[in-house]
Structure 1
Amino acid sequence: MAVVIVLVAVFVLVIGGGAILWLGFHVGDSARKHAVAVPTLPDLPTPPTYSPPPLPSYSPSFPSGPDSPTDTYSPPPQYYGAIAVASDGSVGKSWDYSSAAAAEKRALNECPRSHCKVLVGFMNSCGAVAYNPRTNKYWGGRGATKTAAEKDAISNAGGGHWITWVCTTR
Structure 2
Amino acid sequence: MIVAAFVMLVGGGAVVWLFLGGDDDDPSRTSAGSSIPDLPTPPSYTPPTYDPPTTTPTRPSYTYSPPPQNWGAIAVGRNGAVGRAWDFDTASAARRRALNECPTSGCKVLTTFVNGCGAIAFNSRTNKYWGGRGDTKAAAQRDAISNAGGGRWTTWVCTTR
Q: Same fold (TM over 0.5)?
A: yes
Code of the aligned partner of 1:167: C
Determine if the alignment matches structure 1 residue 141 to structure 2 residue 132: yes
CA distance in 1, matches of 2:51, 2:136: 56
Give TM-score, length-normalised by structure 1.
0.59
Which residue of structure 1 aligns with residue 69 of structure 2?
78
Greater share of residues in strand? 2
- Taking the TM superposition and a 5 Å limit, the aligned residue runs for 1:21-170 are 71-170=62-161
What is the DSSP-based 3-state SS (H/G/I as helix, E as strand, rest coil) of the residue aligned with 1:140? strand
Give structure 2 stretches of 5+ with no counterpart: 1-49, 54-59
SS of equivalent residue, structure 1 residue 114: coil
Unaligned runs of 5+ in 1: 1-55, 60-68
In the TM superposition, what are the counterparts of 1:4-15 in structure 2 within 5 Å? none
The DSSP-based 3-state class of the residue aligned with 1:89 is coil
Mapped to 2, the partners of 1:149 and 1:96 lie a distance apart of: 17
Aligned-residue CA RMSD (Å): 1.5
Say how many residue pairs are matched: 106
In the aligned structure 1, how far is the partner of 2:160 from the partner of 2:69?
A: 9
Q: C-alpha distance in 1, partners of 2:52/2:130?
A: 63
Question: Runs in 1 of length 4+ with deviation above 3 angstroms?
Answer: 56-59
Partner of 2:57: none
